[in-house]
Chains A and B, each alone.
Chain A
Amino acid sequence: MTSKASITATQLMMLAVGSSFMFPYTFMPILNAPPANQDVWLVLLLSIVYIVIMCSPILFIANKFRGLTVNEITEVILGKFAGKLASFLFVLLFLFCYAACLSMAAIFVKIAIIPETPTWAFIAFAVVPISYATYKGAGTIGRLATFIVPFIMFTIIIFFLMGIPQIDLKVLQPVFADSTFLDINKGALITSSRLTEKTIFLVFSYFLIKEANINKTFIKALLLYNFFYALILLPTLLVLGVDLAQNAFNPYFVYTRQVHGYDFIEKVQALNTLAWFPGLMLKLTLYNFMGCYMLSGIFKMKSHKSFVIPFSVLAAVFCLIPAINKADIILTLASDQIFPWIVFPFTFVLPLILVIVYLIRKKKLDNILQYIKQHDLSSQCLLLENFKNDGNK
């Protein structure tokens, strides 16, 4: 293994937050999730609970097997072959997310920002910074997040403050009027299963410095994410109204267009692009990195670097397949009918299987864990092999 990059709790938090609010930033799926009316903010509030539940298997494993890479975790729990298979499933998820997000971004860019530019040009253009950042590894990505994400947060706060004069609180008034508690739960379930960023905690737990607490970082990230999601959602809802916001392809972008002040700040939606695009790059870099990293783990490669460009090219080609590269298909893909249900098995069911298998094989696995803890943590990979050999003897 190459020398281990380390990231701090703040960096992990920023990564998770920054990457996860790119979806609301781009097309705000929560507006069209049930109950799809003025009560969506309740959905957002309730989704905290669901996210905690859904994330618990991942957190359990990440805490239990702290110091192991994600590939090692799956291989220790499920055995060599099944472990590799599980890792490969994750890789597929990341490839899918990478390609899906890239094509969603391409569609949005084509509709709202630079309509005459062909999609291939945008994708070829976007893949460069992503590959470059991925190439630099986990430490760089983590620190990149600490620069980009606060900037995004800053713009969100500024846009929120500037939108206050236009806010019309009446939009939110009838609470529970048109929706049942069941609807809201359903919405919260969908909203929280859409989050692919839970996997970050699994993959990046290995890189996290020893002093950091995964659970605390997770909770902080969750609260921060919800807070900023609310700062995106509420003004959009309050200024545009529910129906108009639902009808818009990118509601937040439409909202930022309405913001004006001091007579000369008008139509500053392009500044939103300036914050949105680096954020998107970060999210895609993260997918790219996690995919490449897990691939390198599967093939026991020293570095993830050789996978970076093939992975990006694969995703880009996937985006450019003419059958897929159509607005309606991508919108369906991103909608509540498909995307959350693709992500859900990978982020909840698969980790849950890991937890169950762990509980079944608890005794043996605890032995392995203890063995690892007694020895130097930095070379666990070799140690695992040794332990297996010892066991065979």
Chain B
Amino acid sequence: MIIFNFIKPNQKQQNSQKNNSNFLQADAKKITDKNREQAYVPSRISECEEYLKDKFCNSPDVIIEDFETKKKKVLIAYIDGLANKDLIDRDIIKPLKSTDFKGEVSSALNACHTISDDIDDAAFEMVNGNVAIFYEKSRQAVIVDFKQWDKRSVEMPDSETVTRGPKEGFTENIRTNTSLIRRKIRNPRLVFENLTLGRQTNTSISLVYVKGIVNKDVLEEVKSRLAKIDVDSILESGFIEQYIEKNSFSPISGIGVTQKPDIVAARILEGRVAILCDGTPHVLTIPELFLENLHSSEDYYNRTLQSTMIRILRVVGLFIGVLLPGFSVAIITYNQEMIPASFLTHIITSTQKTPLPSAAEAFFLILMFELLKESGTRLPRAVGSAITIVGSLIIGDSAVSAGIVGAPMVIIIALTAVASFIVPNLTEFISIYRLFFLFLGATMGLLGIGAGIVIMLTQLISTESFGIPILSSFSKNEIKDSVVRFPLRSLKYRPASIAKDNIKRIK
């Protein structure tokens, strides 16, 4: 499917350029759309109460209480669990009920607030965890930001673990996440641009970039694609990723995903854009080049030689993961003379009593490996490791002794599996192309592998991530930070294909 997507015209992208001249304008338009039948705040608070109860369908977690103060009748409304009750008591109710209250609500509050004259807007703010205060005859609502809800603290993410480097990871709370980034880059030119996506979920999204470094073309492209999203729900950044990517059937998306603030900081300092999505610790970075899947933040924290060696190891792992099953099947079934005679004898001996041809053996083992991998990841950690042991030790061993597969093929697939874990970001890519190469190797031998390499390269080359070809890491400056990593001192330039306008990093 992926291979033949050249039938589809890719030109549709062009007309998107027209209708997004100004992103913010588009955002503003959305809000006015929402408020088409504008609902003003009623002057009587009992009407307010009725309206809100109706709006929230009498939901028990919505707390609407009115009380009398010295001067006025006041109604405060908030959602239980989203707002901080202690603060409400201390900074809203207490000053309003005190004898000093002079009738002016906004000046009496001990908190920052905004004023809205639209009750729907106020309701929306309540959903976000703010407190809305209405009072008699004002036709205004005072909105106080007392958001507080239970959230996970900043922890070490379970993937992307490092031995050296910061251990903190993003949380589900977008505010925490923005603060984590802000703490890395203490620069006023770090820009967050907020918008809300999802007609039902109203998820807040934040675009992060450093002004002056960011690639403006990419930024515009991201904004225009984001503006085109008009869906019910955005529950995770994966939704955004899939709505803004160009080719849904490509095995690589051109969008990076990370859970670590230091990685996001490094990426946006190279001129990229990051997209934070509320409710998920996974942050998107755009664009992502192919080779960056082989990089890890640790590469920059460790010394040059070590990092370079590990990177080369990852490239080897990538090649083994993609090519080894197909290549070995091609050699075993077409070019036996390449195998040293003693080893060929072993292969002949071990496959003598097995029923399957080599290609089917490889396919069977790959299938088994994928099954084990999937069952291991979804289960609780303790059970997961048990599955792995059962799978790898018992099934693998008994498959050989039961005569279903030959031992050499088990070794080959095991090596492939281990190698593909060395580049966790490319697991999908590797498993898809592994099957593709297995098919080609089994049908046409090494010629098939050659043809597969051409097809894979063509696909990678022609894939663009937001206008930037994902294989463009091989220019003169970028090669210093590609398969090898030069000393930090000599990495004077940002990746030229990404940070087009401001590429000098060190003077």
Contacts and interface: CB of A to CB of B under 8 A. Distances in A.
B447 A109 contact: yes
B450 A273 contact: yes
A344 B337 CA distance: 41
Given A144-B461, A148-B457, A277 B3 contact: no
B445 interface: yes
A248 interface: no
A178 interface: no
B338 A132 contact: no
Interface string B332-354: 00110110100000000000000
Q: Which of B448, B457, B474 has the most CB of A within 10 A?
A: B457
Interface residues of B, number: 28
Interface residues of A, number: 34
Interface in B424-472: 443-451, 453-455, 457-458, 461-462, 469, 471
A277 B458 contact: no
Nearest to B10: A136
A267 B338 contact: yes
Nearest to B443: A125
Contact of A147 (B4, B450, B461): B461
Interface in A77-133: 109, 113-114, 117, 122, 125-126, 128-129, 131-133
B474 A146 contact: yes
A282 B455 CA distance: 11
B239 to A, nearest CB: 29
Given A132-B458, A270-B331, A114 B453 contact: no
A113 B444 CA distance: 10
B338 A148 contact: no
A125 B451 contact: yes
B449 A148 contact: no
A268 interface: yes
A275 B455 CA distance: 14
A266 B449 CA distance: 20
Contacts of B448: 125
Contacts of A169: none
A335 interface: no
B484 to A, nearest CB: 16
A140 interface: yes
A133 B458 contact: yes
B445 A143 contact: no
A278 B335 contact: no
B469 A143 contact: yes
B458 A144 contact: yes
Given A114-B445, A136-B461, A148 B334 contact: no
B474 A140 contact: no
Q: Which of B335, B444, B454 has the most CB of A within 10 A?
A: B454
Given A114-B334, A136-B458, A266-B340, A278 B447 contact: no
Contacts of B461: 136, 140, 143-144, 147
Contacts of A275: 450
A126 B440 CA distance: 12
B1 to A, nearest CB: 13
Contact of B457 (A117, A147, A271, A277): A147
Contacts of A299: none
A129 B458 contact: yes
Contacts of B4: 132
Given A143-B471, A266-B340, A267-B337, A274 B449 contact: yes
Interface in A54-83: none
A135 interface: yes
Contact of A148 (B331, B335, B454): B454
A126 B458 contact: no
A267 B331 CA distance: 12
B338 A277 contact: no
A281 B453 CA distance: 10
B451 A113 contact: no
Interface in A277-301: 277-278, 281-282
A140 B331 CA distance: 30
A125 B444 contact: yes
A270 B455 contact: no
B454 A144 contact: yes
Contacts of B443: 125
Interface in A247-281: 264, 266-268, 270-271, 273-278, 281
A282 B458 CA distance: 11
Given A136-B6, A147-B457, A147-B461, A281 B340 contact: no
A96 B496 CA distance: 41
B462 A277 contact: no
A129 B331 CA distance: 21
A276 B453 CA distance: 12
Nearest to A133: B458
A274 B340 contact: no
Contacts of B6: 131-132, 135-136
A270 B449 CA distance: 11
Contact of A136 (B3, B450, B462): B462
Given A114-B444, A146-B474, A270 B457 contact: no
Nearest to A129: B454
A128 B459 CA distance: 13
A308 to B, nearest CB: 9
Contact of B446 (A140, A148, A277): A277
A273 B446 CA distance: 7
Interface of B: 3-4, 6, 331, 334-335, 337-338, 340, 443-451, 453-455, 457-458, 461-462, 469, 471, 474
16 contacts: A109-B447, A122-B447, A125-B444, A125-B451, A128-B451, A129-B454, A129-B455, A129-B458, A144-B454, A264-B340, A270-B335, A275-B450, A277-B451, A278-B453, A278-B457, A281-B454
Given A114-B447, A273-B450, A277-B447, 4 more contacts: A129-B451, A146-B474, A264-B340, A271-B338
4 pairs of A and B residues whose beta carbons are closest in the complex: A277-B450, A270-B335, A129-B454, A136-B462
